[in-house]
Amino acid sequence: MIELPDLDALELGRLIARRDVSCVEVVAAHLDRIDALNPQVNAVVALRDRDAVLAEAAARDAEERRGPLHGLPIAIKDLTEVAGLPWT
Protein backbone atom coordinates (compact mmCIF):
# COMPACT_ATOMS: atom_id res chain seq x y z
CA MET A 1 0.00 0.00 0.00
CA ILE A 2 1.30 3.45 -0.91
CA GLU A 3 1.53 5.83 2.03
CA LEU A 4 0.32 9.42 1.78
CA PRO A 5 3.82 10.98 1.92
CA ASP A 6 4.81 8.87 -1.11
CA LEU A 7 2.13 10.46 -3.32
CA ASP A 8 2.85 13.54 -5.41
CA ALA A 9 1.13 16.88 -4.84
CA LEU A 10 -1.32 16.38 -7.69
CA GLU A 11 -2.59 13.07 -6.36
CA LEU A 12 -2.79 14.34 -2.78
CA GLY A 13 -4.70 17.39 -4.03
CA ARG A 14 -7.16 15.15 -5.88
CA LEU A 15 -7.69 12.96 -2.82
CA ILE A 16 -8.31 15.99 -0.62
CA ALA A 17 -10.64 17.62 -3.18
CA ARG A 18 -12.72 14.43 -3.37
CA ARG A 19 -12.57 14.18 0.42
CA ASP A 20 -11.11 10.69 0.14
CA VAL A 21 -8.59 11.84 2.75
CA SER A 22 -8.62 14.82 5.07
CA CYS A 23 -6.04 17.56 5.28
CA VAL A 24 -5.43 16.42 8.86
CA GLU A 25 -4.62 12.89 7.67
CA VAL A 26 -2.21 14.19 5.03
CA VAL A 27 -0.42 16.58 7.37
CA ALA A 28 -0.23 14.00 10.18
CA ALA A 29 1.24 11.41 7.81
CA HIS A 30 3.91 13.85 6.67
CA LEU A 31 4.75 14.85 10.24
CA ASP A 32 5.02 11.18 11.19
CA ARG A 33 7.39 10.60 8.25
CA ILE A 34 9.54 13.54 9.36
CA ASP A 35 9.62 12.18 12.92
CA ALA A 36 10.69 8.76 11.64
CA LEU A 37 13.39 9.85 9.18
CA ASN A 38 14.72 13.19 10.33
CA PRO A 39 16.95 11.82 13.12
CA GLN A 40 18.97 10.01 10.44
CA VAL A 41 18.91 12.57 7.61
CA ASN A 42 18.59 15.86 9.54
CA ALA A 43 16.76 17.48 6.63
CA VAL A 44 14.26 19.47 8.70
CA VAL A 45 15.85 22.13 10.89
CA ALA A 46 12.70 23.21 12.73
CA LEU A 47 9.03 22.31 12.88
CA ARG A 48 6.08 24.30 14.07
CA ASP A 49 4.04 22.95 16.97
CA ARG A 50 2.31 19.75 15.87
CA ASP A 51 -1.02 20.59 17.54
CA ALA A 52 -1.09 24.04 15.92
CA VAL A 53 -0.30 22.62 12.48
CA LEU A 54 -2.98 19.94 12.83
CA ALA A 55 -5.49 22.58 13.99
CA GLU A 56 -4.76 24.57 10.82
CA ALA A 57 -5.24 21.42 8.75
CA ALA A 58 -8.60 20.86 10.46
CA ALA A 59 -9.57 24.44 9.57
CA ARG A 60 -8.69 23.71 5.92
CA ASP A 61 -10.91 20.61 6.08
CA ALA A 62 -13.82 22.77 7.27
CA GLU A 63 -13.46 25.23 4.38
CA GLU A 64 -15.65 25.04 1.30
CA ARG A 65 -13.16 25.96 -1.42
CA ARG A 66 -10.78 23.23 -2.53
CA GLY A 67 -8.15 24.53 -4.93
CA PRO A 68 -5.46 22.21 -6.32
CA LEU A 69 -3.06 22.82 -3.42
CA HIS A 70 -5.70 23.14 -0.72
CA GLY A 71 -4.49 21.56 2.52
CA LEU A 72 -1.17 20.29 1.21
CA PRO A 73 1.75 20.55 3.64
CA ILE A 74 4.82 22.42 2.44
CA ALA A 75 8.38 22.67 3.67
CA ILE A 76 10.03 26.07 3.66
CA LYS A 77 13.81 26.22 3.35
CA ASP A 78 15.47 27.72 6.41
CA LEU A 79 16.90 30.49 4.21
CA THR A 80 13.41 32.04 4.23
CA GLU A 81 12.27 34.02 7.25
CA VAL A 82 9.23 32.51 8.96
CA ALA A 83 7.92 34.06 12.17
CA GLY A 84 8.85 31.96 15.19
CA LEU A 85 11.27 29.65 13.35
CA PRO A 86 15.07 29.81 13.06
CA TRP A 87 16.57 30.82 9.73
CA THR A 88 20.11 30.84 8.40
pLDDT of residue 8: 97
Query: pLDDT per residue over 50-66, tens digit each?
Result: 999 999 999 999 998 76
pLDDT digits (tens, 9 = 90+) for 29-52: 999 999 999 999 999 989 999 999
Q: 85: pLDDT confidence band, cut at 50, 70 and 90?
A: confident
Residue 26 near residue 74, CB atoms below 8 Å = no
Model-level pTM greater than 0.95?
A: no
pLDDT of 30: 98
DSSP the chain: ---GGGS-HHHHHHHHHTTSS-HHHHHHHHHHHHHHHHHHH--------HHHHHHHHHHHHH-S---TTTT------TTS--TTS---
